[in-house]
Structure 1
């Protein structure tokens, strides 16, 4: 049986289309294997008239609109019927309904109004309704954040509307069908207005200041259609009134203060507000919404006697309270991500107070949740609660842009599973209107480097095509204003940040990488088309700054930011030379621009940028790679970039891989890479045949590692490997966050290589399945709702046998490469295989203080025995030994212990000689347990 699923009109499931010719996509469900679409019938009904079209062939993703363009406020119903190459034909799908949510050119009439001051306030206007209303649509926006009510009823469930864009270049409006809220006679349209991002003070510490100038302002346009075919339009203007409401103050960083006793004071005439000269455009991405509510998991009393609630998960959103008490009593809510020594850990927030205040009006029961702020938190300190505190009176509202979840990963290794869960929560908390670096401190900015490295992971986990498309519009606008430089933050609101006037590698390269990822993962050509000029401009700008050289070795660079060996307050002092990082990205952007030009049929550009990329690669090899396959900057990130970006394709590639493996071992299988190298180091290792090293790197639990934060109770990804120290204290550096998704970008390797689910063609039209078995895992699986339907891949061990499964959705094919080297090409359906694969084991030689360091570190049990023996006698010496030892060949274990007391040497020697004769398999899932929640520090 073959079933056509309801089609999607545009990029989201929102009820309003932002353009007249939205692309169309649909999926098919069938019991038939190897099903391929031969064609599809489309039926569109508008204004009672049916229109049909036929799509020839297998196209079913982002198919160009085949009908006459929609006109403003036109409602369309679309259904699809598919035909298979096997002769099958589905029934008509259920219809999808969408309304054209855009205005005609010149149709925007509303004036921007407000009180003329920064404080939150209320706006209202009245209008009289004629008989015979057919429909009414409200178009509304603000320089600031707003919420609209018609006759006292909220018009939708979106939050912090209209979201954050580069206001000086672009402003979006929201559309709502408000027909149900109208009533005969006089109606009242109300708008609550606050400053939001528009009036926020951006910057670091005392340098923070407003970027956008002027008070907040809102504009709304209500179009009322009558059954007789006529329309009325109600707009904001001079006739509206404003008043102060119960919101005393509101700031995204500082929090909200609300006095429930305050009623709107005298209504006064509004002011017409001077705002940037931009015409609002329809919102093209989903809005921010409250996605879920979480109950308190634990109530703690701090050493100082304060009450703190723990939600068990570091999240982004707000707290809702239900409380009763005397009028004028004020409850205070202070938010933080972690506890430090049992108290709320607020130092990482820097200048963000993250504190809300609610003053009771004195009714029996009052329920309140702030509207104009959001916080990153797991813990909330409840101050001045009236009467006995009941934790059921407090819930957390989780907020983020309302994207559809599309990707999952699972393994029975509990720490790796928790790590992946943390990646998901980190993305959720940082996809709030724009992709931010962190959601809690006085920053929350659209750092281009963070999304550059994380875009592949993001595109697997959530349908973020429309979200990132929208943000890219701002990137293009900001870059145009900066003469080709892609700012390090978009919207570009911090003039004092380097990179607003000079290009910075790995950050500015977001303009070439993100559109490429959207095409690869969603089959969306539009970002490449709309960003191509910007992609080319970025490469040209870098070329100009290089002054004719092919090596990018001048200007400001962040390099391999947050290298774990860099001093806490000097995170840019990485082991890898900044010129290597910059030149590698110069090559990558030139190469991606050339590939985009080929796809878009821009032959001259393809030749120009392709030739440039080849010349950069040759110069890179001449300057940085020795004939024997060593990097001049002998650090892991240098090797990873060279391998993954394809800068070396000859026999030196294998030598680079071997050296990278040696360096990973030399650092004790701890993370030794920063912001640039960490997302790709496992890719580089597996690509050159060193999955064993990647496996150890993934599952190491000592700091620095991906799993160290998990052992400390982390529920999101940290900015620093040691954001929290082992003693439970917060990293002393001035910059640390407990919710930064960038270092979680390695999850893309888990999806594509460990589970083995990767796109071989855009949108997963062809799927590449090549799982990499890790000795430290018993199983791994990933599944993803591709634009064609659900695909999955995975494996599990059953003794010495490994079973593999692959599911390809209808209208796709999968290329399967099993670890044995056997290849298959399969069509849609579920496929399974089994192969024998033994875990790596070997006979253990007698170990002693004279054993080679590499022999010890490559044997996890031996390494733990050595470390445990030292720790039992001298924990500080053990920590130093772990941190400073370089595990290189040709040196004995005695070397790094040459100054150790005899009792420690004896204890180490005894521990080694007491090991069994067979080397232990690396840590197995069944040997591990997730952190005890009672002991979790974050």
Structure 2
């Protein structure tokens, strides 16, 4: 890019807007704008946005990568043109993290751009950011992702001088990189479903869905008057439930000009279902709408069954994915956090890759992971991008090192993308990261060969853990970590074999065998008892192939008994929950898996559904039965991690799983249970769409309709029937 990174010579009292003018005096063949910024930007040519994207260039590991966006702006040019770029704080200079602090990457906002105009006569003109540009104040007088945005419409009518000079900022252009995944865009508009007055006289609005984005509206009112809109996910005691936001203000302010004002706060975002409005002009009907915002992901997978509660659970998983896949995969979209926690994605990636085409989105995030890891001597941080390194370790945590499940994202996520899409380039690009992770963990093993000596999150958020100590789980951290390490070693060994790294394959296969032996020696008794004797311990041992067949049978029996003892309520935490239904199914306890899935008492997947949830909660009891919010300091109502059970629903209820990476060959094996009488599932693959529909007949038999695209074959496995080969087309059974 030929442009320079520019910033105003002095700080402005608002989000700066940069400007240049240029003529076009010949017919244009093509005009392309490439643009990036320190902060988030909105570019316009002659007052028209150059694209549909918002919050660009998003959040990457700015020390290593800064993305730029490319726009075709041919149709926006005229004979005389004005190019303007508004820049807000965004992730670069705004507040980040739950320990306070801002501007971790730098204290100056800036923009770098290059407009290339190709004329029909073959000549080319370049318009680039340099010191001939000017800057001025905008109508955005405050903006922050956590706290909200303030817009003063009176400033729109002021005549700008555009005489504030800009200067060049030192910048390494080699950091510039194109987007691998999609940009963030407006996705849909949601209208209010209810407006009412709270007990304290405040106006509250319910949009019927916990979503991520902002509100927009047009209003006329007295000049200088202010409308304030505060956002939250729940109502508690008749008022807006803001305590889970911690110190995030989540409040937008709009100052009226006296005329007809349109407001849309596009330099922030909020996670909310409810809004509290104050200052709305008297006598003016309340009219506003919610704009849903997230990365522009294509929906690929669908699921529906005869149980409406399970359908709502699945819809909740979809909405939590949408809300937290906003430029990067975050833990939550509402409180003072919104970080790319590696552990959340490690367990949720298979579900996400079914629901949406996440190939580019997650490849982009993995590029940041690899960059952060390389700079940290093989350590995969807790969050990507790693802003925590600027803040110190979270409270009560030691200095970070490789951590099971969280650091394992370096292996599990690229493997998931390979399985989902069949493109080995993701394994090739991430292979150094994958191997660096397992080699670093090898240095952390105890002399006995298990991973039990360093800090672990363990079975985080075990429902039996104290509300103020989510790491105090029933499962021994060493059991959890060693099981996870064995899985990573197995996957890296398979990756090495696929890529032809024979020496590495031998190294990791041998280390996986030693780790498996150490796990059994240290944690498993001769009669199949696993240390700490809890559901997560048995779940991981079964799901991650750590047991010989006889011991696996015993472990399955013990797991079944523990699940029954819990009254079929969830007793696993962050590590065990995504895999427990699979572990039960693999060991012949399908009925237990269904009873666990369909239980409605707390803790369970369906308890939040019965409480009116429209997204997945962070805690099973984020809201208590009496309608009050969990008293813990860490409570989110939009957290996708515990929705990872949808992967089992897709494969076991819907019946779709891949026999070969990318679904070039598939297994269609629905396993009815839980009182279900029918289910439908569909998946857009790289080869075309797979569709499955099954139902129970009056005599209890299963009939299925299966459609496979051209080039895809498979196996149909129905209960009580011999397996049958599937060819492309439609099959009725």
With the length of structure 2 as denominator, give the TM-score of the two structures.
0.97
From 13, 32, 35, give the equivalent of 1:137.
32
Whether 2:430 is the aligned partner of 1:534: answer no
- Asked if 1 retains the 8 angstrom alpha-carbon contact of 2:656 and 2:668, the reply is yes
How far apart, in 2, do the equivalents of 1:794 and 1:622 lie? 45
The 5 Å alignment of 1:311-322 reads 311-322=207-218
From 592, 606, 615, give the equivalent of 2:505.
606
Residue in structure 2 matched with residue 897 of structure 1 by the alignment = none
How far apart, in 2, do the equivalents of 1:114 and 1:628 lie? 72
Residue in structure 2 matched with residue 293 of structure 1 by the alignment = 189
How far apart, in 1, do the equivalents of 2:549 and 2:586 lie? 14
Whether 2:310 is the aligned partner of 1:416: answer yes
Aligned residues: 723
Whether 2:623 is the aligned partner of 1:724: answer yes
Residue in structure 2 matched with residue 243 of structure 1 by the alignment = 136
CA 1:645/1:108 → structure 2, altered by over 3 Å: closer, same or farther? farther
- Asked if 1 retains the 8 angstrom alpha-carbon contact of 2:183 and 2:296, the reply is yes
- Asked if 1 retains the 8 angstrom alpha-carbon contact of 2:716 and 2:724, the reply is yes
CA displacement 1:665-688 (0-9 Å, x = unmatched): 011100000011111100000111
CA displacement 1:806-826 (0-9 Å, x = unmatched): 221111011111111510111
CA displacement 1:725-752 (0-9 Å, x = unmatched): 0000000000000000000000000001
TM superposition shift of 1:130: 3.3
From 250, 263, 268, give the equivalent of 1:373.
268
How far apart, in 2, do the equivalents of 1:745 and 1:783 lie? 18
Whether 2:564 is the aligned partner of 1:665: answer yes
How far apart, in 1, do the equivalents of 2:181 and 2:281 lie? 42
- Asked if 2 retains the 8 angstrom alpha-carbon contact of 1:287 and 1:402, the reply is yes
How far apart, in 1, do the equivalents of 2:541 and 2:9 lie? 57
TM superposition shift of 1:794: 3.5
From 633, 637, 640, give the equivalent of 1:738.
637
Residue in structure 1 matched with residue 283 of structure 2 by the alignment = 388
Residue in structure 2 matched with residue 160 of structure 1 by the alignment = 55
- Asked if 1 retains the 8 angstrom alpha-carbon contact of 2:5 and 2:171, the reply is no
TM superposition shift of 1:550: 1.8
From 330, 341, 352, give the equivalent of 1:447.
341
From 323, 331, 340, give the equivalent of 2:236.
340
- Asked if 2 retains the 8 angstrom alpha-carbon contact of 1:486 and 1:500, the reply is no
CA displacement 1:629-670 (0-9 Å, x = unmatched): 111120101111011111113211111101000000011100
How far apart, in 1, do the equivalents of 2:692 and 2:587 lie? 22
Residue in structure 1 matched with residue 177 of structure 2 by the alignment = 281
CA displacement 1:16-35 (0-9 Å, x = unmatched): xxxxxxxxxxxxxxxxxxxx
- Asked if 2 retains the 8 angstrom alpha-carbon contact of 1:244 and 1:264, the reply is no
How far apart, in 1, do the equivalents of 2:405 and 2:698 lie? 44
From 237, 243, 249, give the equivalent of 1:353.
249
How far apart, in 1, do the equivalents of 2:91 and 2:436 lie? 29
Whether 2:566 is the aligned partner of 1:566: answer no
The 5 Å alignment of 1:759-908 reads 759-801=658-700, 802-833=702-733
TM superposition shift of 1:115: 5.1
Residue in structure 1 matched with residue 125 of structure 2 by the alignment = 232
Residue in structure 1 matched with residue 67 of structure 2 by the alignment = 172
How far apart, in 2, do the equivalents of 1:257 and 1:264 lie? 20
TM superposition shift of 1:214: 2.4
With the length of structure 1 as denominator, give the TM-score of the two structures.
0.76
TM superposition shift of 1:277: 6.1
From 91, 113, 130, give the equivalent of 1:220.
113
How far apart, in 1, do the equivalents of 2:413 and 2:677 lie? 34
Whether 2:521 is the aligned partner of 1:622: answer yes
TM superposition shift of 1:114: 3.7
Residue in structure 1 matched with residue 16 of structure 2 by the alignment = 121
TM superposition shift of 1:166: 0.5
How far apart, in 1, do the equivalents of 2:313 and 2:615 lie? 8
TM superposition shift of 1:246: 0.6
- Asked if 2 retains the 8 angstrom alpha-carbon contact of 1:243 and 1:264, the reply is no
How far apart, in 1, do the equivalents of 2:11 and 2:400 lie? 32
Deviates more, 1:144-153 or 1:739-748: 144-153
- Asked if 1 retains the 8 angstrom alpha-carbon contact of 2:7 and 2:108, the reply is no
TM superposition shift of 1:204: 2.1
How far apart, in 2, do the equivalents of 1:116 and 1:282 lie? 30
2:549 is paired with a residue whose SS is coil
- Asked if 2 retains the 8 angstrom alpha-carbon contact of 1:488 and 1:499, the reply is no
Whether 2:152 is the aligned partner of 1:259: answer yes
Whether 2:361 is the aligned partner of 1:467: answer yes
Deviates more, 1:474-483 or 1:803-812: 803-812
CA 1:520/1:114 → structure 2, altered by over 3 Å: closer, same or farther? farther
Residue in structure 1 matched with residue 199 of structure 2 by the alignment = 303
- Asked if 1 retains the 8 angstrom alpha-carbon contact of 2:97 and 2:339, the reply is no
CA 1:709/1:264 → structure 2, altered by over 3 Å: closer, same or farther? farther
How far apart, in 2, do the equivalents of 1:499 and 1:219 lie? 39
TM superposition shift of 1:113: 3.0
TM superposition shift of 1:627: 1.6
TM superposition shift of 1:265: 4.2
The 5 Å alignment of 1:71-220 reads 107-114=1-8, 116-117=10-11, 119-184=14-79, 186-205=80-99, 207-220=100-113
How far apart, in 2, do the equivalents of 1:266 and 1:546 lie? 64
Q: Where does the alignment leave 5 or more consecutive residues of structure 1 unmatched?
A: 1-106, 834-938
- Asked if 1 retains the 8 angstrom alpha-carbon contact of 2:6 and 2:131, the reply is no
- Asked if 2 retains the 8 angstrom alpha-carbon contact of 1:704 and 1:722, the reply is yes
Residue in structure 2 matched with residue 505 of structure 1 by the alignment = 404
TM superposition shift of 1:778: 2.0
How far apart, in 1, do the equivalents of 2:525 and 2:707 lie? 44
How far apart, in 2, do the equivalents of 1:277 and 1:223 lie? 18
The 5 Å alignment of 1:657-736 reads 657-736=556-635
TM superposition shift of 1:276: 5.9
How far apart, in 1, do the equivalents of 2:265 and 2:118 lie? 35
CA 1:797/1:547 → structure 2, altered by over 3 Å: closer, same or farther? closer
How far apart, in 1, do the equivalents of 2:721 and 2:519 lie? 33
1:709 is paired with a residue whose SS is helix
How far apart, in 2, do the equivalents of 1:346 and 1:651 lie? 52
TM superposition shift of 1:549: 4.6
TM superposition shift of 1:264: 5.9
How far apart, in 2, do the equivalents of 1:355 and 1:200 lie? 15
Residue in structure 1 matched with residue 381 of structure 2 by the alignment = 487
- Asked if 2 retains the 8 angstrom alpha-carbon contact of 1:781 and 1:795, the reply is yes
1:331 is paired with a residue whose SS is strand
Deviates more, 1:777-786 or 1:503-512: 777-786
How far apart, in 1, do the equivalents of 2:74 and 2:527 lie? 73
CA-based RMSD:
1.4
TM superposition shift of 1:579: 0.2
1:367 is paired with a residue whose SS is strand
How far apart, in 2, do the equivalents of 1:290 and 1:517 lie? 28
- Asked if 2 retains the 8 angstrom alpha-carbon contact of 1:122 and 1:191, the reply is yes
Whether 2:485 is the aligned partner of 1:586: answer yes
How far apart, in 2, do the equivalents of 1:515 and 1:500 lie? 26
Residue in structure 2 matched with residue 323 of structure 1 by the alignment = 219
- Asked if 1 retains the 8 angstrom alpha-carbon contact of 2:2 and 2:128, the reply is no
- Asked if 2 retains the 8 angstrom alpha-carbon contact of 1:486 and 1:503, the reply is yes
CA 1:821/1:584 → structure 2, altered by over 3 Å: closer, same or farther? farther
Residue in structure 2 matched with residue 895 of structure 1 by the alignment = none
Deviates more, 1:491-500 or 1:706-715: 491-500
CA displacement 1:114-144 (0-9 Å, x = unmatched): 4553841110012232323221110100011
